[in-house]
Amino acid sequence: MNSINWDSLGFDAYRTRTIIFSKFSGGEWSPFEATENFSFTFDPFSQVLHYAISCFEGLKAFRQKDGRIAIFRPDQNAARLKRTADYLGMPGPSQELFIKMCEACVRNNLKYLPPYGHRASLYLRPILMGVHPQMQLVPYPEAIFAVMCAPVGSYYGEHLRSFAAVIPGNYDRAAPKGSGSYKIGGNYAATFKPYQLAHKQGYTELLYLNSCTREFVDEFGSSNFFGIKGNKYITPLSDSILPSITNKTLQEVAADLGMEVEKRPVPVDELAGFDEAAACGTAVVITPMSHIDIKPVLEEPGIERSYRYRPDGEVGPVCTQLYKQITGIQFGELEDRHYWCYYI
């Protein structure tokens, strides 16, 4: 292995040492194994290839200040994967199996766990795939569950910097009563083209509205939304957004800091009243927005409205404070009073 420059890590696929996997067939999960062979073989008729029968998770392992290794809230990811698997009619790993496999993935790839002091971590990507060869649109209990990992730094290339987002008038992410609150691969497929168009126009993120009435803020393509107004942390309540573990954590962090937390529908017009607005998630941590524009047609010129928060790159005081708190707990610099760190 060439030595890794821990300070310049972005967020990308990586060839580490091993992937941990288990197969579900005949009603049970096989004992998990580690493989150095970075490829899986499945039948070309597999459900995952044709019908996107796949779901995943994202969580991070940290080398902390005192040298210990902590995975952040893996029980929450285990529960969310189980919920998503149920939605797809797939067998999901138990919480115990999920956590054991994440732990094995970290242990098997220790060389790739960034040392303390670089604001970098080991991102774990568990994935569950339906591999039964079948054309009928019905679930079948045959699956591969794999946990892979990658050393990561900042998702957008720079820690704690603000970026621009766009609300696309002509793209939706999730239907009412649809799959938006589940972490299925298909939800992300719908965002690829709009992301490409947004990036071409200088926007880093896409902010989606509720697709039924387009009156309320739902979430970013990669993460949840929160706004800061005075002493309030405000985040959307919606059936079609992913229940973010980072957001849930930040709500507790904000309350611990004496802030008021409001989880409720957020009308689009309210974007005008926030002091700060940001994305939050495992990958993006907290990424504040410099401004958010509404574009009626993403690929055409024309901005309907622009909500400005900070000059490009600058970050507000509350986002800075929340960022320091959550990363402080993750890196073992601050007390983990809620026992979020799972030590291995």
Binding site for ligand COI (CB under 6 A): 58, 222, 281-283
- If binding is defined by CB under 6 A, does position 224 make contact with ligand PLP? yes
Among 183, 200, 248, 263, which one carries the catalytic annotation? 183
> Which residue in the set 282, 325, 327, 330 belongs to the binding site for ligand PLP (CB under 6 A)?
282
Q: How far is the CB of 44 from ligand COI (least distance, A)?
A: 27
List of residues 6+ apart from 200 with CB closer than 8 A: none
**3-class SS of residue 225:** strand
Q: How far is the CB of 84 from ligand COI (least distance, A)?
A: 12
Is the Cβ of residue 104 or residue 283 nearer to ligand COI in the bound state?
283
**Using CB under 6 A, which residues numbered 28 to 87 contact ligand PLP?**
58
| Partner that binds at residue 325, options ligand PLP, ligand COI, none, CB closer than 5 to 8 Å by kind | none
CB 142 within 8 A of CB 131: yes
Q: How far is the CB of 77 from ligand PLP (least distance, A)?
A: 7
Residue with nearest beta carbon to ligand COI: 58
**3-class SS of residue 317:** helix
Is the Cβ of residue 121 or residue 134 nearer to ligand COI in the bound state?
121
Number of residues located near ligand PLP, criterion CB under 6 A: 12
- If binding is defined by CB under 6 A, does position 179 make contact with ligand PLP? no
Q: What is the 3-state secondary structure (H, E, C) of 249-309?
A: HHHHHHHHCCCEEEECCCEHHHHHHCCEEEEEECCCEEEEEEEEEEECCCCCCCCCEEEEC
- If binding is defined by CB under 6 A, does position 217 make contact with ligand PLP? no
Please give the Cα distance from 238 to 228 (Å, whole number).
18
List of residues 6+ apart from 289 with CB closer than 8 A: 162, 163, 164, 165, 205, 277, 278, 279, 309, 310
- If binding is defined by CB under 6 A, does position 253 make contact with ligand PLP? no
Cβ of 156: how many Cβ atoms within 10 Å? 18
Task: Give CA angle at 210 (206, 212), nearest 5°.
Answer: 135
| Partner that binds at residue 250, options ligand COI, ligand PLP, none, CB closer than 5 to 8 Å by kind | none
Please give the Cα distance from 15 to 24 (Å, whole number).
25
Q: How far is the CB of 220 from ligand COI (least distance, A)?
A: 9
Q: Which range in 109-117, 128-136, 138-146, 222-230 contacts ligand PLP by CB under 6 A?
A: 222-230
> Which residue in the set 102, 242, 318, 329 belongs to the binding site for ligand PLP (CB under 6 A)?
242
Q: How far is the CB of 67 from ligand PLP (least distance, A)?
A: 26
Is the Cβ of residue 246 or residue 290 nearer to ligand PLP in the bound state?
246
> Which residue in the set 74, 114, 281, 316 belongs to the binding site for ligand PLP (CB under 6 A)?
281
| Partner that binds at residue 236, options ligand PLP, ligand COI, none, CB closer than 5 to 8 Å by kind | none
Q: How far is the CB of 277 from ligand PLP (least distance, A)?
A: 15
Q: How far is the CB of 198 from ligand PLP (least distance, A)?
A: 15
324 among known catalytic residues = no
Task: Give CA angle at 220 (217, 221), nearest 5°.
Answer: 135
**3-class SS of residue 132:** coil
Q: Which residues of 23-59 are buried (b: 16+ CB within 10 A; e: fewer)?
A: bbeeeebeebebeeeeeeebeeebbbbeebbbbbbbb
- If binding is defined by CB under 6 A, does position 227 make contact with ligand PLP? no
- If binding is defined by CB under 6 A, does position 235 make contact with ligand PLP? no
Cβ of 329: how many Cβ atoms within 10 Å? 22
Which backbone phi and psi does 286 adopt, to 5 degrees? -125, 120
**Which residues are marked as active site?**
183
Interacting residues with ligand PLP (CB under 6 A): 58, 219, 222-224, 242, 244-247, 281-282
